Structure 1
Amino acid sequence: MVALLSKLAINSDRLYLSINELAEIGKLDNGGVCRLAFSEADIQARQLVSRWMQEAGMAVRSDAVGNIIGRYAGTKSQAALATGSHIDTVPIGGRYDGCLGVLAGIEVARVLHQSQTRLRHPFEVIVFSDEENSVIGCKAIAGNAPTDPERYRRKDGTDIQTCLQMVGGDWDKLHTAQRDRSEIAAFIELHVEQGGVLEAKNKQIGVVTGIVGQYRYMVRIVGRPNHAGTTPMNMRKDALVAASRLVLAINRLGMETIGDQVATVGHLTVSPNGTNVVPALVNLSIDLRDLSEENLQYLITEIKKEAVAIAANTGTEITFEQKLHVLPTLAKPELMATIADVCKQLDLSYDYLPSRAGHDAQEIGRFTDMAMIFVPSRDGISHSEEEYTSPEQCAQGAEVLLQTLLAIDKSY
């Protein structure tokens, strides 16, 4: 059990005012937010957040990939305790995804500054660049960013060097953004769940056990086009029939395999897509996620076995192309235990759950201790103008973050 809670506390009204003020930048008519990375709205938001950091007594700098790092000095010269997330959004996003983690971190700094409290460790709040697209900010800090600039070209064609110049970064100095355990002792990210588990279980806080690994494939199924009226059923090489059987096999394996995996086919195209033509070509996607890399490897192996049998049975050709492979990152058990103890002392209900979405913490956790705190998302909705987490829930998450940081400052 951690030590008794500090008398320091989050100012919930101030936190929620910050959330709403930031949401005005890039606000859409439907109530959502569009603040794409490196856009004018993103730049304005960066300026506002940087000013808030400075007002909270933090020294603020930007690294080579445009990560904003606010640092509140500690009493000892040692590795920092860090938190943070991102402030860029999807094209039609909400006001909580990423932003809550950043603004809760700034609120922690405000509480420390206002009370003239110094931790033993320096305290950092990091705003990671372009989490919603390239994830270049956290990857660069972890030293895992691919060095091919074409990997980061924006959808409108703008190259990464131009994007970084807009926010004071420099692609040619990418390597200088890398950090290690000697600089960051632990990283704790507060985030909205972006799912409905906490709400369904009526829990106030989620203690994240880890961030799932992801396998993503594109599958090409080649059959033979022919007249739908004149081709007997036993003479067809129907690519869509083969695809349908594969989709059902993927779903079955996702349901029946022992583990906590998810398996999804979310994209499918059919050619020539004519009413009276036997389908000749289908392209489909496979998205696999789990905390167990071993389980993911088992799933894709079994899926490929199913594909071989389906291809033989339907006279089609099925090929796989891997598009993404992200290794899972497990949360540090000691940090999870501290978060749970803080919840008990705050009389907040909690449960353990994995994060099935990617987060900046996933990359940071590859070189230092990592944990995440979830708060509920109403109806499990995120990446939408309907995204909502109540002021009370935001404050509860921020309070758990504050008290966890104060507790581990004594033990790290």
Structure 2
Amino acid sequence: MQGRELLAHWMKQLGMQVRVDAAGNLIGRLEGLDPHRPALVTGSHLDTVPTGGRFDGALGVLAGLEACRALQDQGLRLRHGIELIAFADEESTMVGCKGLAGTASDDPGSYATSNGQPIQDNLARIGGHWPSLASARRSDEAYAAFLELHVEQGGVLEQRGDAIGVVEGVVGQRRFSINVKGQANHAGTTPMGLRQDALVAASRIVLAVEAMASRHPGDPVATVGRLEVWPNAANVVPGAVALTVDLRDVDPAVLDQLVEELMQQVENIGAETGCPIAVDPQFSVDPTPADAVVMATIAEAAADLGLSHSHLPSRASHDAQEVGRRWPMGMIFVPSRGGLSHSAAEFTSDEQCWAGTSVLLETLLRLDRQLP
């Protein structure tokens, strides 16, 4: 709350109109020369995960504030208004960006909050209002484009030696819970040929998941992130295994292909091992592509500023994922040292933050000239 209050204070110092919408988003607006034009929007989130770092989310908010400050210092007033948004609860429920985009559920029980408190109470604590959540939805005509500066949260830019990442889109996700049923039995007295080992079948699924993503054209990722073995005893042949499979790619067709291949692999492994295998979908999130014009403008801004850049997808969810379902979206990545994020060791240098902020400001200026 102190961070939000300080940000609101800084917004007001810049002469911004400041408000909190029903979804808990803190919004500051600099009016443009033509108040009837749709606004250019930038921002990110201020919340973080336990033991998280200083840059995830906060960089995008403060960079947007600095871009607005630079415009004020230079006496520049854009044709479009600018809105700076600190979205509510990105790390948990994403109620802020979903509320703004009109994709938020109206069922309070569907929100798994990080503190275990009802979503209604959490919103009230930051100035939101659950009964009026639908009022946070903005009209199609409200915004011209959305830009989010964010740390990469991975090691690709650092490996490439690039200062700026031009994000192609936010990946979609398909997640499954898989349960393998074998037969628990004595580890010493059960011959290898007579075993129905659930862990052997599950291990083959793990290897199949890794192999299908590695050999697939493009750059999808596939992860078995949880594995539970029963009875999990040293002298017992495993009788059951539960695991999760997470598939991600920016292309929905690739996701569909990965899902189809996963199902075929599971069917084959079940038949070959004699272990019944059940696959249950947990959730499905569609990719959000970046807008071609916004993406090209980011790349041009970086090039003209003399900053090396390359294209890459975002494999983590961001506020831009939901906002981009309604309005043209673009994301700017800056490097994360060692690829670390969601960690106290998360770090991006002052120079890298400056580079990202400069590209953000230059992109806003160019979009103001280009967009109606």
TM-score by structure 1 length? 0.88
Q: What is the one-letter code of the residue matched to 1:45? A: G
Equivalent positions of 1:1-400 (< 5 A) are 43-77=1-35, 78-400=37-359
SS at 1:284 equivalent: strand
* Greater mean alpha carbon deviation, residues 257-266 or residues 99-108: 257-266
Q: Distance in 2 between matches of 1:345 and 1:74?
A: 25
Structure 1 residue 155: Cα displacement: 4.2
Deviations 1:293-337 (A, max 9, x none): 111111111111111111112121111121221111111111111
Measure, in 1, the Cα distance between the counterparts of 2:40 and 2:317.
21
Cα deviation, residue 393, structure 1: 0.6
Residues 330-388 of structure 1: CA distance to partner in whole angstroms, max 9, x if unpaired?
11111111111111211111111111111100111111100011111111111111111
Q: Would you say the 8 A contact 1:208–1:354 is kept in 2?
A: yes
Q: Which amino acid aligns with 1:400?
A: V
Residue deviations 1:225-283 (CA, integer Å, cap 9, x gap): 11111112122111100000010111110111222211111111111100111111111
TM normalised by structure 2 equals 0.97
Deviations 1:377-408 (A, max 9, x none): 11111111111100011011001100110111
Q: Aligned pair in 2 of structure 1 residues 377, 335: CA closer, same or farther (>3 Å)?
A: same
Asked if 2 retains the 8 angstrom alpha-carbon contact of 1:220 and 1:319, the reply is yes
**Alpha-carbon distance in structure 2 between the residues aligned to 1:153 and 1:159:** 8
In structure 1, the residue corresponding to 2:266 is in which secondary structure? helix
Task: State the SS of the aligned residue for 1:282.
Answer: strand
Q: Secondary structure at the match of 1:219?
A: strand
Aligned length: 370
Does the 8 A contact of 2:250 with 2:289 survive in 1? Answer: yes
- Aligned-pair Cα RMSD in Å: 1.0
Amino acid at match of 1:134: T
**Which amino acid is the alignment partner of residue 326 of structure 2?**
F
Runs (4 or more) in structure 1 with deviation over 6 Å come to none
Structure 1 match to 2:368: 409
Q: Is the 8 A contact 1:87 1:102 kept in 2?
A: yes
Gaps of 5+ in 2: none
Alpha-carbon distance in structure 1 between the residues aligned to 2:71 and 2:123: 32
Q: Cα offset for 1:114?
A: 2.5
Aligned-residue identity in percent: 52
- Residues 70, 125 of structure 1: 8 Å contact kept: yes
**Contact residue 92 and residue 112 of structure 2 kept, 8 A:** no
Q: Secondary structure at the match of 2:281?
A: strand
Following superposition, the deviation at residue 113 of structure 1 comes to 2.1
Q: 1:188 is paired with a residue of what secondary structure?
A: strand
In structure 1, C-alpha distance between the alignment counterparts of 2:338 and 2:112, rounded to whole Å:
34
Question: Partner of 2:241: helix, strand, or coil?
Answer: strand
C-alpha separation in 1, matches of 2:286 and 2:15: 37
Structure 1 unpaired stretches of 5+ = 1-42
**CA offset at residue 216 of structure 1?**
1.0
Distance 2:343 2:80 in 1: 37
The one-letter amino acid paired with 1:313 is E
Superposition deviation, residue 112 in structure 1: 1.8
**Preserved contact between residue 57 and residue 109 of structure 1 (Cα < 8 Å):** no
Shift of 1:74: 0.5
Q: In 1, distance between residues paired with 2:185 and 2:282?
A: 31
